A = this chain, B = another copy of it.
Amino acid sequence: MEASHGKEALILKATLQLISEYGFHGTSMAKVAGRAGVSAGIIYHYFSNKESLIEKLYIREKHHFINLVTAGLDQSLTVRNQVRFLVRKTIEVSVLMKEEMMFMEQFLQSPYNRPEIQSTVNAMQKPLTDVFLRAKKEQIVKPLPDAVIYMLTLGTATKLAQQHAEGAVHADDELIEQVTDACWEAIRL
């Protein structure tokens, strides 16, 4: 019963791995099939084309990522602490989901990215962005454009995980706490 969907999952997993390893350019449908242990043709049974395969993978991974980051978000905390929670969690989850993060970063700069996709993602991110909006409304963070606020916090968090993945730094608990501090200092009023 889940065997029928097993193949679709294998294809998605293989795509994720290959793109994180070799990039979009180095990931052909034939390689995906090979890594997934299926024939090339069957991919088109589950996905209408390469673009659709990659889009669906992106949406799925982004969804998963957001779920992990917002899981355990405690609304009874102060907004300040909710912001810090989200930054810290973004780093932690990004560090753990190395392949997924590399894929998602690459996607953003690939020709597969389209405004409609980011609209979909923005809608999914609402639970997350709401916290930052509230912080701005309560005037505990600077009155900067939303995009700048996210860049200074979640963007930085993601970048730290990238540096960790590249081996440039080691993101242990202490460093994660320090960077969470730094992000907060960047936006606090």
Residue ranges of A at the interface with B (Cβ–Cβ < 8 Å) = 22-26, 105-106, 109-111, 142, 144-145, 147-148, 151-152, 155-156, 159-160, 163, 168-169, 175, 178-179, 182-183, 185-188
User: What is the minimal beta-carbon distance from A186 to any residue of chain B, in angstroms?
Assistant: 4
Determine how many copies of this chain the complex contains.
4
The residue that A148 contacts in the complex, of B24, B152, B160, B186, with Cβ under 8 A, is B160
User: What is the minimal beta-carbon distance from A102 to any residue of chain B, in angstroms?
Assistant: 9
Jot down 8 A-B pairs with beta carbons below 8 A, ordered by A. A25-B111, A105-B109, A151-B156, A151-B160, A182-B187, A183-B186, A185-B185, A185-B186
User: What is the minimal beta-carbon distance from A40 to any residue of chain B, in angstroms?
Assistant: 11
Contact A169 B147 (CB under 8 A): yes
How distant is the Cα of A185 from the Cα of B156 in the complex, in angstroms?
A: 14
